[in-house]
Structures are given as structure tokens and as C-alpha cells.
Copies of this chain bind each other. A is one copy, B any other.
Amino acid sequence: MKSNDQNDSSPAPAPSHEERDFLAQYDASGFPHPSVTVDVALVTAHEGVLKALLVKRVEPPHKDAWGLVGGFVGMEESLDEAAARVLEEKAGLKDVFLEQLYTFGAPGRDPRTRVISISYFALVDAKRLSEVGNGARTLAQLSVAWPAETGGPVVALGQDESPLPLAFDHAEILGALVLRLRGKLDYAPIGFELLPESFTLRALQDIHQTIKGETLNKDSFRRRMLASGMIEATGGREESVGHRPAKLYRFARGNTN
């Protein structure tokens, strides 16, 4: 599927750009141009805190620091496609919720050359974390690690500062991410993206509390969700939980009633 020969006469597409030297770019008239990348924060809610996938950098700059997965934007792909590709190549995840966050382009954010990075965030159910790493091309090289498995290479996003040294301006990206999630939670269906298809009201409330960083009133949350029309009962219930089982709900796409 992938050609290692850049001079191959067949129309070999994007992947080769990952291995190129990272130098300032010039056009035919000698005018320099910035490089354009996407950085993707893969986010989940785990044990009551928001967590994002970080990979340990094995080469300078910021060697041994932790960073988001990222890569160059190909000439033939949209920004959304680039973000999805990077997420699949470097984390092994497909078909996840993906949204553009913000574009960072301070002149000094990468010490090698001018790099403009469009940041994205992806939301996944914590149960899909086991997929991370499957088929990821550069996993071994970048030594991906995830909280559930190692307890280490994670940053908990909240009022506290990150406990890990982060590369580039990735701490700023994660800060903007938390604000975006908090701001959108009340009017956009992003909470459901962090849960499996069917879930209990309690689990949904936990997600909301994790994002907001505060406890919510149970009765009010319940009434509000049921009245919103955004969820519908699946008919099923929890099983083997040691107490009265809760009804299961699913996200009712389209109902804005």
C-alpha cells in the first residue's frame, strides 16, 4: 500500500512527507513559506478526569517531552482528512468524533522553522482505549502510552497544571480544549461522544461533571436531560450492579425538541 520510493512513477500519495527533513520552505522565487501541520488531542473521560493521549518525543526538538500526535497536511487532503489520517496513523483509531479547535502559529513555537498548526480534538469512550496502538505505524518509534495501561504518560486537564513536560505549545492547546469542551457541553451533544452507545443517566452526569469540574444536582440534571429530547430509553437496564439497575439510554440524534 505504501511506496518507499519517492521517485516511483505511479501517483504515490501523501505518506512520504512524514520522513522529510524539517527545513524552512522556499518557493521558486526564494520566498519562504511556513509549514502546515495538524495536532490532534485524543480525549476521554477516565476515573473522573479528562485525559488526552500524549506521545513521548524521541527526537529533538523537545526530545523526551510529551506531545500530541501530529503531522503535515498533505497537498491533496482537507484539514479534517489530515486530522483523521494522523489520528489513525499515530493512534490507530478510526471513526471518532473530530472537531477543529484552534490554529496556533506563533513564529517561535517550533525552533526549527515557522510551523502553523491547526489543532483538533477527538472524543472517545474510555472503553475504546484498548484500540489505541492497533495498526499505528509509528507507535513503537514514538512509544505511545496511555493512562489505563501505564498510569504515567497522561495529562489530567483541569484547574491544575500539567504534571508532564509538554512539547511546543501543546499545554496551551490543552488549555483551549478544556475551555471549548466546557463551553459547548450545555448546547452541543459532545457528552455522548465520551460514552458507549447505551449509557445510564448517572454515567452521563459523571461525564458532565468531569468536563465542568464541578458536581451537578442529580434531580435537575435528570429532568433537564429527559426534557431535552436528546436521549431516549433503549428499553434495556444495567445488570449485576449490586443495587437497583438503572435504565439505559441512547443519544437520540436529531431531536432538538
Binding site for B on A (CB under 8 A): 17, 20-21, 23-29, 31-36, 73, 75-79, 100, 102-107, 114, 116, 118, 183, 187
Contact = CB atoms under 8 A, between A and B. Distances in A.
Main secondary structure of the interface of A (DSSP, over half): loop
Contacts of A28: 23, 26
Contacts of A25: 25-27, 33
Copies in the complex: 2
A98 to B, nearest CB: 14
Q: Closest 4 A-B residue pairs measured CB to CB? A: A25-B27, A79-B105, A103-B103, A25-B33
Contact of A75 (B73, B100, B104, B114): B114
Nearest to A184: B183
Contacts of A34: 36, 73, 75
Nearest to A17: B31
A21 B29 contact: yes
Contact of A100 (B29, B36, B76, B102): B102
